[in-house]
Structures are given as structure tokens and as C-alpha cells.
Structure 1
Amino acid sequence: MHTENLAQYRCPLCQQALLLTEKSYRCINKHSFDQAKQGYVNLLPVQFKHSKEPGDNKAMVQARRAFLDKGYYQPLLDSMLALYQKYGDKTAAVFDAGCGEGFYTHQHKTEHNSVYGVDIAKETIKIAAKRYQDCFYSVATLADLPFNDGHFGWLYSVYAPILENEFTRILQDKGYLLTVTPADNHLFELKALIYRQANKHDTAKQVIKQLTLIEEQRLNYPMNFSNSDDVLNLLAMTPFAFKASKELINQLKQQKEFSCQADFVLRLYQK
């Protein structure tokens, strides 16, 4: 199912190496984590969960998958891959923090690297592992990642929480962290339909202090919709979906055309 490399994880309970034996990952202290039939492994012990099913629910996952499959975020993906091609060590391991259904994860895979995706939502990891079998996927928390220090040469986070200490720990010396966050006008037209006074995103706050900022890019382009399902999927994958009224949902269903901005900030840091 995978390349010649076996996944390299460490035990979330005792931090010892996990070895895959007969479809179970085991450490020397006999902690065991079964590999699911889809190929992923759940490395989120029940005592580390803050809810029964943490992360995005199934409806959000399906909406995001349908939206991303239509290519609306292709310019973002192209910008991310261009930075990887420009700076990345193509043989070093790659890590997608908060990988969701693996849309960005698998597109970083080459014949020379190993690519890992982690998400706290089991439903998303199940989809990713089943669909993109050339990458390694696990359920885990970004606050305590199941990897040894300095394991990755390239790490990226698209809208996921940026946990600098943990990300820095698993990065190699001279390794890179790429963060993608919303810029001022991201989805502003959609937000304006929901909120009486829609605020622009605050992009002034830079959370990374330990790493060196190498490059910063602003990516802005219009997304033009002629299918109401795509707009509804976009809405469903955003945090402000919960604020949308039934009237607004019906209004969007009736609209034949809609346009809003995609607006991102990409920041590349080096350890």
C-alpha cells in the first residue's frame, strides 16, 4: 500500500518507537495501536480526548471535500507547491498539520519523500487514508505529535492551530514551516450576508517567534460560482456556518451566481 518506507511513529503514551507488527503498532512497553483497514492508525488515546468525537463532523468533512475537489483553492495549492519546490529538501519527510481529507497532503508526495498527515477528527483521516494510499495518516492531537524530534524537513499548516513549540520540536535544523492563514478579505462577501457588521480578518498578529521568516506572500483572487451547491459547501466548511439562518440558506439555494474573494497569507519560516 505504501512506498518502501514504513511509517515512523512514536508512542503517544511513553514516547518510545512504534513498530508495525501484524497490523498493529507496538512499542517496547507493549502499548499497542491497531492499523485500521483503510491504512491509518489512531494515536489519540481516549484519555487525551476532550470530547467523544473531536474535530470536524461528517457533514463539514463531506462539504469541504466536495468544495476542494472543484478546484476553487487550486491557486493556493499551486503557491504552496511552488514554495516547496523552491526551498524544500525533496528527500526529507513532509508533515501536514491538521490534514483533513488529505487534499494538500497527497499533492506533496513524490517518489523520493515520505508524507504524513495528522488530524484529530477520525472521520477525515478515514477518508484521507482510503483515498490517498501513498501517504501515512494518523489520528492525533497537534499538541502532542507522535513523532521524534527533528523528524521533518517540511511542515505546513493550512488554517490549523499553529503550535509553535511542538512544530519546532519535530522540525529538522534548517527545516521549514509554511503557514496559511486568512487575509483581510477572505470570504468577505459571504461573511457580509451573515453578519450585520462583517469584520475583516486580523492579519497583524504573527504567532511564530522561534523561527526565521524567510518569505511572505499575499494571494487574492475572485471565486465565481454558478452552482449554488458549491456556495453551500463553502459555507458549510467555515466557522460562521453556524450563524447562517434558514432564510439565508434558502436565498443561496436560489442564487444562480455568486462571487467572493479568496484571500490568503502564506508565511514561510526556517528553523
Structure 2
Amino acid sequence: MSLSHYLCPICRSALNSQASGFHCSNNHHFDRAKEGYVNLLPVQHKHSKDPGDNKAMVQARRAFLEQGYYQPLIDKLTGLYREYGDASLPVLDAGCGEGYYTHQHKTETNQVYGVDIAKNAIKIAAKRYKMCHFSVGTLSHLPFEDEHFGWLFSIYAPILEPEFTRVLRSGAYLLTVTPAEDHLFELKSMIYREPQKHDTGKSPIKELTLVHEEKLNYRMDFTNPDDVMNLLAMTPFAFKTSDSLFEQIKGLTEFNCQADFHIRLYQKEKK
């Protein structure tokens, strides 16, 4: 039995690790799933029966990312981690989805964790990336002890500064990726009569210190309509797309679209 660095989502006391799962001093027990993850999302923290991205969205995102369209983003993120991060300290992917970005940060010396509210996504992540630790949980009540992580990153997920700050060590870093003005604008132009560019003027981070900021913009060239369909399916745009437009996209032989990311790196004040 050993301390797991997880917190009980019910009473917020430390969870101890056993072969069968995790338990706290108040006898709350959480089984380790056969895929290797632990579900730390109690019913009272759910807002629906199956919260988070549905299975179709998870599968579409997985198929799209595996084609390498976001590889420049991955290279940028891992480069910043190598430049600023401490590979001896734990890493957290907050809102990790199916773990595609999570495992990119694994080294021989660090421990990497991923948490997401979508059980469908965590199942895939834990089954595929055995070298990382995955849990089902909510970002508003992260199931981790205080000041545990040296690096936390959030890619297209809710950014909750108080909770992120709580689990970061003194001097640790938070990296966020949000859509910049022109992200997927060509795709939006097919769906909306008057497509709006993303508003990037507001930052949800108020207390942490901004140490690095940049935009990453490049053109994605598609020759396979399945890739465009997967891109559409993994975005909220899919709910606004008509049947006729779906058919039009399926018939595309080529399509160009911008990837436009806003990357910010923050540091927690050193004690």
C-alpha cells in the first residue's frame, strides 16, 4: 500500500493505492478499471448521465490527430516543456481526452497524469498509453493533492485558475492552448452565413505570471474527405451542419483550412 497522490473526490482525504484500486481513511473505495484508469467522478459532480465528449467525437478526434495535422502544435508544446520544465517533476494534462497530447510529454524520468470528465476518452487513453496515469474526474475538483505538479497543460479545455494553481508547486508552470482568431475559419465559413473570428482578448488567468506567449498559424491541406469529416465531427460545428453540407464535404477532393493557436505559458510565484 502506498500514497497515490490522488485525493478522494468525496471527502478530499488522501487515497492509498492497492492492487485492486484506491481507498481513503474514511473507507471510500475506487476500483482500478481493467484498462488501468480510476474513476474519481462521483455522481454529485456529474451534470449529465455521460458527461464530456461522446464516443463519436472521441473517435473522430483520435482519427484526425493520428493523421498529423496538429504535429506543429505538438512540437511547440514539447519544445516549451523541454525549455522550461523540470523532467523530474510530475506533469498533468487537464482535460486530456483520449491521451494524444498526454503521452507526448512522457520521459524516462517523469510521471505523467491525465484527467478528463469523459469516461469514453479515458478508457481509450488508459488502454493505449500504459506509461501514463489516467483518471476520470472534473477539472473544477481535481482529484490530486495540493502542490503536486511541476507542469500542467490545458489544450482546448476549461481553464480554472484557482484549482490549477492549487495543484501546482511553487515556481511551477501552466501552459494553455486556446483558438486564435482564424482557427478553422474556412470550415466555419462553410457552415455559417456570417462566420465570426475567435475572440482572444480575454484571458482567464489573473494571478499567475505570463512568461511566454505566441501564436502558431499554418495551413492544413486536405485531400481525403474523411479527414475533413473527422475535423468537423470533433468540433461543436458539427451540430450546426446540415445534411446537404455533410454530403458536400464527403465529396471534397481537396480543402484548405487554417490552424491558428494561441499559446500562453504562466508561472506560479516561487515561495
TM-score, normalised via structure 1 length = 0.97
Q: Contact (CA 8 Å) 1:40, 1:125: kept in 2 or not? A: yes
Distance in 2 between the 1:131 and 1:240 partners? 28
For the aligned residues, what is the CA RMSD? Answer: 1.0
**Among 217, 222, 229, which residue is 1:220 paired with?**
217
Say whether residues 1:229 and 2:230 are aligned partners.
Answer: no
Shift of 1:225: 0.2
Report the counterpart of residue 89 of structure 2 in structure 1.
92
Say whether residues 1:82 and 2:74 are aligned partners.
Answer: no
Deviating more after overlay: 228-237 vs 5-14: 5-14
Give the SS at the match of 2:35: coil
Distance in 2 between the 1:22 and 1:202 partners? 47
Q: Contact (CA 8 Å) 2:3, 2:15: kept in 1 or not? A: no
Report the counterpart of residue 31 of structure 1 in structure 2.
28
Distance in 1 between the 2:108 and 2:20 partners? 24
Report the counterpart of residue 112 of structure 1 in structure 2.
109
Write the mapping of 1:73-222 to structure 2, written as runs, cut at 5 A: 73-222=70-219
Counterpart residue identity of residue 216, structure 1: E
Tell me the matched-pair count: 267
Give the SS at the match of 2:141: coil
Q: Contact (CA 8 Å) 2:91, 2:110: kept in 1 or not? A: yes
Distance in 1 between the 2:178 and 2:248 partners? 29
Which consecutive segments of 4 or more residues in structure 1 shift more than 3 A? none
Distance in 2 between the 1:147 and 1:210 partners? 21
Distance in 2 between the 1:32 and 1:234 partners? 39
Distance in 2 between the 1:98 and 1:234 partners? 18
TM-score, normalised via structure 2 length = 0.97
Shift of 1:6: 7.5
Distance in 2 between the 1:22 and 1:215 partners? 42
Give the SS at the match of 1:8: strand
Distance in 2 between the 1:6 and 1:198 partners? 50
Give the SS at the match of 1:12: coil
Q: Contact (CA 8 Å) 2:171, 2:267: kept in 1 or not? A: yes
Distance change (3 Å), C-alpha of 1:189 and 1:6: farther
Distance in 1 between the 2:30 and 2:169 partners? 26
Segments of structure 2 that go 5 or more residues without pairing to the other structure are: none
Report the counterpart of residue 45 of structure 2 in structure 1.
48
Distance in 2 between the 1:62 and 1:169 partners? 32
Give the SS at the match of 1:143: helix
Say whether residues 1:244 and 2:241 are aligned partners.
Answer: yes
Distance in 2 between the 1:127 and 1:40 partners? 10
Give the SS at the match of 2:140: coil
Counterpart residue identity of residue 99, structure 1: C
Segments of structure 1 that go 5 or more residues without pairing to the other structure are: none
Say whether residues 1:258 and 2:245 are aligned partners.
Answer: no
Counterpart residue identity of residue 23, structure 1: S
1:131-184 CA deviation, whole Å, 9 max, x = no partner? 000000000000000111101000000000000100010000100000000000
Distance in 2 between the 1:236 and 1:7 partners? 36
Distance in 1 between the 2:248 and 2:57 partners? 20
Distance in 2 between the 1:264 and 1:79 partners? 11
Q: Percent identity?
A: 66
